[in-house]
Chain A
């Protein structure tokens, strides 16, 4: 370890004298901090697009018979004649909204931003293990993102079989217009995305394992790094499976193979494909797809751990239990995928195994939630906007998490599968928790990213409006599900039985408009503070972790001539006998003082 850091020191030293050109500094940068900002800004743009899409289809769901000028303005006469969207574009919007948020915002955006920013900073490294692959990862990501958004402009519309792209619907252009060119672009975009995720993930893993500074043992790592590290492992193990599923689908679409297709008669003729199984795709897809939701939520939980501990001015409660939970969740996440497929006709015995493993995952999740709450208990809570977002994320993690126990129960899932109960569940537990924690992370680390401070009052306004709107949109949707309303319906008006649920749909839509409007406060605060915010001090929140020991100013290589040396865990807040209420990791242990990471008992 010490040899390695020595070599790094020289590398870092040289970097200081080396002037970077505009292109190598701002565009094709290999600096992890710049790449983190590139990921973040790209994710914000993508999230904005996905948010506009969701607002449009919420309008459609609440008032299916009414035209809206804004719908027509955004979608044009082809897709929204007289302001009423067509069912093709409705499904397209739903699909692209889901794809963007799951992959481009909450996977690429969340991990890309915070793993890039925090892993090298918090382990005390000059940069990622391979800055070049890191840069490549961003450019693959951006290319994928552009293709995905670009597919909205195709004359046949974007891919529209839902973000899970189940064949045969996604395999046959005859089945729907979106399964033509739109689907092709979706598949290319996703392949690029997987390449990006793999390049990034390998880099994160190697950096955490090999580039920790002197004294930074695994049990002194902040929980952010633990979460991002395990997330990267999940990604590296599961994304290749998605890529293979996508490749087989491409073969079925182009060269006439029959991996997923058999016995199909469509558009007036029988197809030649024989012997394939559409269910095979679902197994491959969810083998990624379920770890994927933990790829989304673990970094969010990592951010929450750090922000809640710092702003409670207390050590995170149960540090080792938190690491244990992360590991157990990661392990279990690989053996629960079948709970997405209870009604595909799978063997009932297999179903009961998946019930068992899925319900089991509630235990480490509950441990995490209880630990957050105990961290608040008898704390001295500083309500920074970041802290508020993270408290909000704990709340949504609980509220959305408990309904997961219902859906994990195969017998109950039969009636709720694919209806609005599921939509409410996963938006709250995964969507909201991750987005709220991501916002928290942005407010918390903005000073490290842009060397300026965001506006506090706008942050408060953003939080309260977002939080109220978030629950307002999704909580009522549980009841739509319990009334039997299926998801991905363009309108409920073909079923008179759903007619008197209109007021619930409208409530959900009004809150979604409020939520979307609140994000403009954030966009304004973000871009304004980037240029005009107050200059950030070195350690504005009084944190222990290493990123706050870096001098202000962005230079490739992070620390000066010497890398920091770590002497303690990251959570010595309000430690009895210490002077201030925090002790940075670089302060040596006093005589007889025990290190928290090694345990107190």
Chain B
């Protein structure tokens, strides 16, 4: 039972957050944290659990974003249609990309995914149907509730929370299943995993496609919230890197790692930008970069491991104290017995 206490506390905190810190900016910040957590958690399946460091996941993010905006721009449909459409698209594209690139190992895989992502960005930049460099916009004025165009970020917040919950549930289920076992084996040593009879290629591809589909959901919701996508904001390599550093910072291969990473990085980015960005001296990124460097240097396995270690200490301390108190309670009673 105890393993559920901390997740329950976390869940309670996350549910209450936008009601306590309730200014529009704080609510939007919260929604963005959850959104990036969805993307980073999706990335985590293949990048964290399986150790296949993809730097091209923005392609799938873009699938969702473009599907959502395209559904509106070309068919007048609510952008929400882009969620399933983007998922299908992302899964298909993942299969096409995955078959050749997943054969590569280590850095070659990372570099190949970067190249594929750049390739897709360049092709989209030159495709008029996808808005080319101008990009695609969503409905400027919401026609009905399905357009998900709210003034407040609160509906987005809880929507993203549900989606994140589902993503984490799927991740948890995968991690606990035979597939998760194989993925970890592949991460440790692909050759060893193969020699033990793990169908490594098939498992990697399945994980990649699952991860791609979930990433596209984040992309679709991103585009809906912002109401716009262009090649830079929907397919720029920086988005891939962000997913990666959020997962790495929080703790890659851990269920809540990406969420912790997003909860640190997104506010850090937005608040430092709010404080320093207006000076126009680039100080935002000096601070941001320095903090990332420090974390990589002193906590290379991510913040979550640090937190869990602390929590373990606290839990043990509390346990010891309660036990001691119980003992103390029992002892005088026992003494009384003897006296009697």
To the question of whether A and B form a pair in one complex, the answer is no
Contacts from A to B (Cβ < 8 Å): none
Contacts from B to A (Cβ < 8 Å): none
